[in-house]
């Protein structure tokens, strides 16, 4: 059985790189293996960003991650079988969509990962992950090169600084470049649980702070026709401002006379505001077509508000991830297993992140009341008690946890949300709710959007993993995404857990991801096709 490539070797190789993605390669395409990790991102788009512009250009190689977050090679051990090499499959195989190759003209390249669904939280991923692959690394199948919030920051640091920064954070090369969710030692020995929690803590602070500030940065720009939200909706803009935030953060850390940690910025609102301006300036320096900065409409007071909220959020993440697991009568071993406890805390962080993504919420003079209640329930502080925190996190540790519904509850009821709101006892599995066995029976699901009754989806899930989708859909952000229910579309589907189906639908030769999952009310569904996740009802 071949061992994984050393992550320390990866960092050292990254530090030694002096070429650029445009350098000539050896004349052959090299398979790239890796894993997308926020939680593990299923059905995410991963591509080789050959010109480093943060945009998926038509000529750039791309693939989809599998249900475990892998691309190129799924290195999970199954009995005597050591993983699956997707790039060794024939192109006609449906799993070939997980194969990614470094193009012949590149010896190394930036790898960007967008969209997809977080298998820990069950929510769409709202940022961009970045990693760096060299031709040598790419050929090391089944060596898995992880892409995480930490590698997203490392990718924009100079080669000489990457290892210095790892030392500042008190982490080894393996911990910085590896899978943040598992205990993986450099020579096979397990790392202590405390180290894993610290890595997740650092990753969540880096990524979730970026996800909160991304909509604010996006709101600063409009095109010549007055259209806003250009990131993700205009082909001349990246999917989101995430790469600019990471670049600016890396530049700031490297600019300090003495190497410093991310927390040194997150703990200081003044430094955070300077960071926001630095990210905006990087966007401006790129001279994005038709981009018009609108920052001058904000007062200095509102600027400070945004920085204050980000700093409070970072402190919440640090406090929650650092807190000791509570022993409780709910489980004789404490708050369930380490895995489910970490999952509960990551879901609690996702709830607060979702509540603060609206730029107006980050601009409040005080923390948004709904977000404050979610913070208090997770920590057992303020208006909540320690026993409330135990109940709240216990509910979030269940695979039935429905973050979409919980966020809606906080948005509707604010400070009145009780700890029991995280208990989704009525949620049914997909098989229970559709009245059939997916993968064995042909299952028909006919849905209508609760927001817009003209949006419909008639879906047929075949036992062989193929799908037929008749979708009538009007995209409020991009008319080019509109679809007619009169034209059935082919696709493929797979379950990522008992409650969620991921699908890829072929729209005029373009593969678009889709998600369908059961709602916690026991009758409806949550449907996402185009980035507007919402409740849909059977018709």
Looking at the domain assignment, is residue 293 inside a domain? no
Q: Are residues 365 and 441 in the same domain?
A: no
Domain count, the chain: 3
Q: What is the model's pLDDT at position 14?
A: 41
In Å, how far from its chain's centre is CA 101? 22
- Listed residue (426, 389, 413) closest to 520, CA to CA: 426
Looking at the domain assignment, is residue 256 inside a domain? no
Q: What is the model's pLDDT at position 295?
A: 53
Q: Are residues 411 and 437 in the same domain?
A: no
Dihedral sign for Cα atoms in the order 332, 384, 305, 352: positive
Residue 215 corresponds to which tokens in the numbers above? 């909509």
Q: How far is 251 from 272, CA to CA, in rounded Å?
A: 13
Of 151, 176, 191, the residue that ends a domain is 191
Of 379, 399, 425, the residue that ends a domain is 425
Q: Are residues 390 and 441 in the same domain?
A: no
Q: What is the model's pLDDT at position 517?
A: 92
Residues in the chain: 539
Q: Are residues 381 and 493 in the same domain?
A: no
Q: Are residues 35 and 149 in the same domain?
A: yes
Looking at the domain assignment, is residue 168 inside a domain? yes
Q: What is the model's pLDDT at position 410?
A: 94
DSSP state of 202: H
Residue with tokens 């990614």: 100
Q: How far is 216 from 361, CA to CA, in rounded Å?
A: 10
Could you read off the pLDDT of 9-51 as tens digits, one per residue?
A: 444 344 333 333 333 334 467 888 889 999 999 999 999 998 8
Residue 282 corresponds to which tokens in the numbers above? 């990087």
Q: In 172-327, which ranges are E strands?
A: none
Residues in CB range of 434: below 8 A, 6 or more apart: 443, 445
Q: Are residues 404 and 462 in the same domain?
A: no
Q: What is the model's pLDDT at position 48?
A: 93
SS3 472: strand
Q: What is the model's pLDDT at position 507?
A: 85
Looking at the domain assignment, is residue 330 inside a domain? yes
Q: Are residues 63 and 11 in the same domain?
A: yes
Domain that holds residue 474: 430-538
Q: Are residues 386 and 480 in the same domain?
A: no
Q: Are residues 17 and 56 in the same domain?
A: yes
Q: Are residues 344 and 448 in the same domain?
A: no
Q: Are residues 527 and 379 in the same domain?
A: no
In the predicted model, residues of the chain with pLDDT beneath 70 are 1-28, 77-82, 135-144, 183-193, 287-302, 325-338, 476-480, 530-531
Q: Are residues 109 and 51 in the same domain?
A: yes
Looking at the domain assignment, is residue 53 inside a domain? yes
Looking at the domain assignment, is residue 513 inside a domain? yes
């Amino acid at each position: 059985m071949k061992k994984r490539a050393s992550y320390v070797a990866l960092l050292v190789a990254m530090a030694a790189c002096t070429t650029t993605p445009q350098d000539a390669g050896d004349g052959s395409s090299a398979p790239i293996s890796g894993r997308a990790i926020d939680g593990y991102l299923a059905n995410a788009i991963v591509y080789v960003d050959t010109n480093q512009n943060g945009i998926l250009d038509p000529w750039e190689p791309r693939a989809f991650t599998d249900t475990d977050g892998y691309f190129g090679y799924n290195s999970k051990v199954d009995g005597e079988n050591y993983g699956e090499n997707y790039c060794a499959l024939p192109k006609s195989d449906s799993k070939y969509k997980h194969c990614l190759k470094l193009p012949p003209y590149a010896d190394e390249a930036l790898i960007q990962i967008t969209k997809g669904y977080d298998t820990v939280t069950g929510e769409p991923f709202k940022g961009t992950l970045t990693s760096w692959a060299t031709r040598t690394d790419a050929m090391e199948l089944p060596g898995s090169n992880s892409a995480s919030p930490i590698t997203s920051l490392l990718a924009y640091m100079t080669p000489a600084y990457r290892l210095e920064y790892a030392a500042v954070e008190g982490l080894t090369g393996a911990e910085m470049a590896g899978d943040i969710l598992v205990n993986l030692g450099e020579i096979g020995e397990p790392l202590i649980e405390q180290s894993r929690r610290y890595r997740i803590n650092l990753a969540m602070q880096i990524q979730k702070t970026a996800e909160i500030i991304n909509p604010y940065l996006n709101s600063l720009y409009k095109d010549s026709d007055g259209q806003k939200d250009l990131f993700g909706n205009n082909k001349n803009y990246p999917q989101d401002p995430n790469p600019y935030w990471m670049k600016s953060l890396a530049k700031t850390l490297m600019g300090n006379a003495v190497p410093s940690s991310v927390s040194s910025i997150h703990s200081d609102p003044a430094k955070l505001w300077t960071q926001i301006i630095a990210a905006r300036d990087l966007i401006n320096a790129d001279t994005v077509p038709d981009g018009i900065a609108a920052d001058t409409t904000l007062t200095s007071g509102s600027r400070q508000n945004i920085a204050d909220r980000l700093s409070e959020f970072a402190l919440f993440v640090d406090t929650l991830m650092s807190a000791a697991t509570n022993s409780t009568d709910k489980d004789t071993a404490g708050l369930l297993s380490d895995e489910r406890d970490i999952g509960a805390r990551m879901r609690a962080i996702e709830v607060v992140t979702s509540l603060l993504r609206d730029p107006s919420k980050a601009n409040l003079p005080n923390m948004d009341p709904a977000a404050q209640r979610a913070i208090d329930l997770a920590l057992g502080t303020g208006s909540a008690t320690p026993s409330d925190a135990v109940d709240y996190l216990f509910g979030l540790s269940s695979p039935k946890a429905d973050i979409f519904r919980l966020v809606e509850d906080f948005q509707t009821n604010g400070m009145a949300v009780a700890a029991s709101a995280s208990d989704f006892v009525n949620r049914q599995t997909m098989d229970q709710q559709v009245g059939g066995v997916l993968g064995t029976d042909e299952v028909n699901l006919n849905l209508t959007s609760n927001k817009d009754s003209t949006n419909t989806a008639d879906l047929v899930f075949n036992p062989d993993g193929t799908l037929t989708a008749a979708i009538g859909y009007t995209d409020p952000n991009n008319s080019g995404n509109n679809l007619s229910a009169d034209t059935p579309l082919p696709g493929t589907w797979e379950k990522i857990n008992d409650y969620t189906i991921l699908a890829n639908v072929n729209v005029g030769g373009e593969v678009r991801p889709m998600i369908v999952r059961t709602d916690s009310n026991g009758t409806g569904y949550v449907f996402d096709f185009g980035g507007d996740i919402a409740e849909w009802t059977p018709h």
